[in-house]
Amino acid sequence: MRRLGYPSFWLLLLAMAFCLGMLSAHERWPVYGVFVERILVQFDGRKGVSEFARRHYAQRRSLFAELPAEADLVLIGDSLTAQGEWQELLPDLSVHNRGIGFDTAEGVAARLTSICDGRYRIAALAVGINDLIYNIPVSKTR
């Protein structure tokens, strides 16, 4: 029997990671399914946001209302933005992270006015992945 060489091992590991990712993306992996079930609930054939997500969203919005609104850069978006260590990645700029997990394009649009009232030199917007997860039609996000 032939031993797996170093490159073969990494290719096998990469293939396994890809398969696990595909299974989890389709909510067929049980561990991921339990997590998704806690966050998302089914109603009217669409995925909606759970009470946990609603509370989280409200808490983050109220926190942002109390924080100062002056920086070089403001980052606006969903959990992909919220989870970034942007100040560490951009040490030469003062950065305000205004990302909220579970947010959609509609939610970000509703927050833009309050965020844009601040004094920021640059604003970066990253949103849309949750619209895909929640199956929100593109026509509703325009």
Which pLDDT score, from 0 to 100, does residue 134 have? 78
Average pLDDT of the chain, as a whole number: 76
Which pLDDT score, from 0 to 100, does residue 90 have? 92
**CA 30, 32, 36, 39 torsion-angle sign:** positive
Q: Which among 110, 113, 96, 104 has a CA at the least distance from the CA of 137?
A: 104
Percent over 70 (pLDDT), the chain:
65
- More confident: 122 or 49: 122
- Residue 100 pLDDT grade (very low, low, confident, very high; cuts 50, 70, 90): very high
Residue 3 has pLDDT above 60, yes or no: no
